[in-house]
Amino acid sequence: MKKSTRALLAAALVLGVAAGPLTLAPAFAEPAPPAAAAPAGPDLSAVIAGLPRADATAALVRIGGTEGSWAGSAGVHDLESGAAADPAARFRAGSVTKVFTAATVLQLAAEGRIDLDRTARSYLPELIPGRYATVTVRQLLNHTHGIPAAGMPGETVEEWYERRFEVHEPEEMVRRATAKAREFRPGTRQHYLNIGYTIAGLIVERVTGDPYEEQLERRILRPLGLRDTYSPGREPAIRGPHNHGYQLMRLDDGTTGLRDVSVWGVTDGWAAGDLVSTTADLERFTRALFAGRVVRGPLLEEMFTLPEVTDFGSGEPAAYSAGLSMKRLGGREVWGKTGGRWGYNAAIASTRHGERTLVYSVNSTDAKGQEMNRTALELMLATYGLPSE
């Protein structure tokens, strides 16, 4: 979802992933609810066969919708034991968190407690300086605010690993970001960053008087029965069963290899990227969201409306809405969100009316690389087909 159509197509050709409908093959599969049979096409189970391999150690996948259902897993729980990956394991969902945050803000907007056209500074006057006085809540959600990234100490994965237990307060991150000059005039370009969602989380707290996590629990997690999804706060370890995540980096002996990065603080992500979840929970959330049972009425369209601006870096048309992003795959619009934390890539995706949904967790060894992880890319393309203009 984060790569251009041209780059996705090139990767697909290199990887040999063919476009076409999906085969819901039984290999690696766990029982799934009865559903309409899917037409013949690429074998999804073949995409995750052979794990662990250089780019990933495990993968958990769920397909749903009216076109068919399937759930499968491959790879290992951890490299030391070699035990099979747990298909019900929790994992770090990364920026999939933004979908939950956007939905929370839009619920509050429906109640009249947040105005999407009101400025962020009017809610947080002590935090947002005058140079960003015109940034609106809507612009925070669709990444057209022009506020640069807060920036993190260190320049390499090895340096970040050494600092993995540092705590980052959201207010301080906002101060660091807003102390910089704006990247562009608000509303004129789009630049996908975490900072807008950090500010949005603080606005949720300001208008409700509750911690962001409590509002998330009350509004989304509890009503949908997402019992394995939670915000970890300052806890660096994943609670409960989880498949270990690994990152390729320089090791203590000077060689390059895989290091277990399952335990890593995520306070830098917070409302933009800290959630822990499972594929079953994310599938339930995706179905409810696209069916209009999380955000109701006209405000749901905010999540399916792209701003009419261009990307700050590439100059291509904006690809992000409030919480989601859109890519044309297999001749139709696919909406969703990917996420990455060290050792883990995750995604939710669906056609607009839920004909085909995809949720995956890939234990990537290059989870925050410049390019989309190979296994994750193959899953997306095998599910929906090649990019289309």
Computed on alpha carbons and rounded to an integer, the radius of gyration of the chain in Å comes to 20
Tokens coding 367: 């989870």
pLDDT on residue 368 = 84
Give the total number of structural domains in the chain.
1
Tokens coding 173: 């991150």
**Low-confidence residues of the chain: pLDDT under 70:** 1-42, 389
Which CATH number goes with the domain that contains 195? Answer: 3.40.710.10
pLDDT on residue 16 = 37
pLDDT on residue 389 = 62
Residues 6+ apart with CB under 8 A from 68: 22, 24, 35, 36, 37, 38, 356
Assigned domain for 207 exists = yes
Assigned domain for 147 exists = yes
- DSSP labels for 313-365? TT-PBP-B-SS-EEEEETTEEEEEEEEEETTEEEEEEEETTSSSEEEEEEEET
Q: Are the C-beta atoms of 127 and 195 separated by less than 8 Å? A: no
pLDDT on residue 153 = 86
Report residue 274: phi and psi, to 5°.
Answer: -105, -5
pLDDT on residue 7 = 53
Assigned domain for 24 exists = no
**Which domain range does residue 52 map to?**
5-19+29-384
Assigned domain for 68 exists = yes
Assigned domain for 340 exists = yes
* Beta carbons within 10 angstroms of residue 113's beta carbon: 13
What CA–CA distance (Å, rounded) separates 336 from 290? Answer: 10
Assigned domain for 142 exists = yes
Assigned domain for 15 exists = yes
Assigned domain for 389 exists = no
Q: Where are the beta strands (DSSP E) in the chain?
A: 56-64, 70-75, 91-92, 189-190, 246-250, 256-260, 276-277, 310-311, 325-329, 332-341, 344-351, 357-364
pLDDT on residue 28 = 33
Tokens coding 389: 């203009």
